[in-house]
Amino acid sequence: AFEGLSDKLSNAFKRLRSKGKLSQSDVKEAMREVRLALLEADVNYKVAKDFVAKVSERAVGAEVMESLTPAQHVIKIVNEELTALMGGENVRIASAPKPPTIVMLCGLQGSGKTTHAAKLAHMFKKQGRRPLLVACDVYRPAAITQLKVMGEKAGVSVFEQGQGNPVKIAKEAVKHAKDYGNDLVLLDTAGRLHIDETLMDELKRIKAEVGPHEILLVVDAMTGQDAVNVAKAFDEALGIDGVVLTKLDGDTRGGAALSVRAVTGKPIKFAGTGEKIEEIEVFHPERMASRILGMGDVLSLIEKAESQLDVKKAEQMARRFSENKMDYNDMLDQFAQVRKLGPIKQILSSLPGMDKHLKEADIDDSQMDKQMDRTVAIILSMTKRERACVDAINPSRKRRIAAGSGTKVEDVNRLIKQLEQMQQMMKQFGGKGKKRRRMMGMPP
Ligand code: GDP
Ligand code: MG
C-alpha cells in the first residue's frame, strides 16, 4: 500500500535535498507537490489543504536542527504532521471496569467484520484474555459458518443461536460470557452494501441492549474516500469509538488512513493487513507516517539516535573511522550505542526495505544479545594495549583472553576477524571522512 503516495512525496523532497538554506519559494513549491500527492492518494480535499498549511507554517523560517539538513528538517515536520493527522498516539480499546468488556464490530458488508472479529479474538487471546466471539449476523447461514471457521483458527469459542434475533443473541452471549468467565465479548454484526435505516436500527438496538464499551467500525481502506464517508455516517448514527482499517495490504492509495481521523475525530485503532488470522496490527500513527514517507521508520530512528546517542562520542567515532583507526574500544562503544536504540530486530525492521526480508529472517533478539554479551566479555578480558590494537594478539594471549572471558579461542579468533573485516570495509568505502560518516549514519 501507499507506494504511489510515497513516491510522490519523495519526489517533492528530492528538490530540497540539493539545497543549502531553504527559501520560502522552495518550500512553497515542495508543498504544492505534497498537496497534489495527497489529493492523488485520495486524501480528503480540506484535510490536504489544512495539512499543507500547517507544514508550510512550521517549515518556513523555523530553526533547523544542527544535525539535520534543511530537506531532512522539512521531512521531519511532514512526518510529525502526518503522525498528528492520524491521531498521534495509538489509542487502545476501552476496558470494562467489571468484565466482560463488550466490543461491537460494525460496518458495511465485505468490509472485514467477521475476519477482524476473529483476528482481534486471536490477538487478545495471545495476550492472555478469554474472548468470546458472537454471531450476530444472522441473515446468511454462511456468515455463521464463516465465524465458526475463523473462531476455530483463533482457538476461541463462538456463541451462536442460528438465525435468531441478533439483539437477543447479543444479550444472551453476554450472560454466557459472565457464566463461563469470558472477559471479552466480540460481537460480529450484520452489514449491508449501503448504509440504511434497517441496519442502523438493528445496531442501535443491540447497542441499547448490551451497552458495548467499545464500538469499532470496520472499514475497507481500498474504498478510499468512501471509507471516510461511511465512518462519518456510522459515527453520526451510532456513535463509534474507533476504526479498524482493513485491507491495507492491498492496492490502497492511503486516503482513508490519512483522512479518517481528521474528518470523524475517531482514531484508527487496528489495521488489517491480509486474510490470515494473525494479519492484524495495532495501528501506530507514527509508524504509518514513516511508512508512507517511504523510509521505514527511519525518521523515528534518527530521532531516537539524536536523543540517545552521545553526540560527542559519535563524532569521535566517526573521526576514528575516517582515519581508519578502528579498534576494540570502538567496538565496545558501538555495542553500547546499539543497545541504547533497542532490540536489534526492531532497529533492523525500521530500516527502509528491510521489513520483508526480516519477516523471513526471523532474528532472535535474545540470541543476538547473548552474542553481544560474549563479544563484550572477550574485549573486557583484553589489556588496554590489546584493546587499542597496540599489541598483536598472539596464541598465548588468545588463550588468556578466552579463559578470562569464559569463551573459546575460536570465539576470540572470530572477534579478531570481525575487527579486521570492519577495518577493511572502512578502507573500501574510500572517499573522504564525510562520505564514511554518512554511511555510518552520522551527521556530515
Ligand atoms: P464482513 O462482511 O464485513 O464480515 O467481511 P469479511 O470478514 O467476510 O471479509 C470480506 C472479505 O475480505 C473476505 O474474503 C476476507 O478474507 C477479506 N479480508 C478481510 N480483511 C482483509 C484484509 O485485511 N486484507 C485482505 N487482503 N483481505 C481481507
Ligand atoms: Mg461477516
Domains of the chain: 3-85 (1.20.120.140), 101-283 (3.40.50.300), 309-439 (1.10.260.30)
**Which pLDDT belongs to residue 143?**
94
- Which of 105, 113, 115, 218 is the pocket-test mutation for ligand 1 (most atoms within 8 Å of CB)? 115
196 annotated as belonging to a binding site for a ligand: no
Please give the Cα distance from 126 to 172 (Å, whole number): 25
Q: The complex's ipTM?
A: 0.99
More confident of the two residues 355 and 68: 68
The residue with cell 517549515 is 59
Atom of ligand 1 nearest to the CA of 272: 23
Which alpha helices (DSSP H) does 18-165 contain, by range?
24-40, 45-59, 70-85, 113-126, 141-154
Closest ligand 1 atom number to CA of residue 246 = 23
pLDDT tops 80 at residue 444: no
Spatial CA neighbour of 101 closest among 134, 136, 138: 134
Centre of ligand 2 to C-alpha 187, Å, is 11
Q: At residue 4, does pLDDT exceed 90?
A: no
Question: 220 C-alpha to center of ligand 1: Å?
Answer: 8
The three-state secondary structure class of 295 is: strand
pLDDT at 335: 78
**Residue 62: pLDDT band with limits 50, 70, 90:** low
Residue 399, C-alpha cell as written in the block: 588463550
pLDDT band of residue 426 (cuts 50, 70, 90) is: confident
Ligand 1 pocket mutation, candidates 114, 147, 219, 275, criterion most atoms within 8 A of CB: 275
CA-proximal residue: ligand 1, atom 12 (nearest): 112
CA proximity to 86, closest of 239, 221, 188, 278: 221
- Convert the pLDDT of each residue in 104-153 to its tens digit: 999 999 999 999 999 999 999 999 999 999 999 999 889 999 999 999 99
Q: How many residues belong to the chain?
A: 444
| Cell numbers given for 74 | 522539512
The whole model's pTM is what? Answer: 0.70
Q: How far is the CA of 39 from the centre of ligand 1 (A)?
A: 26
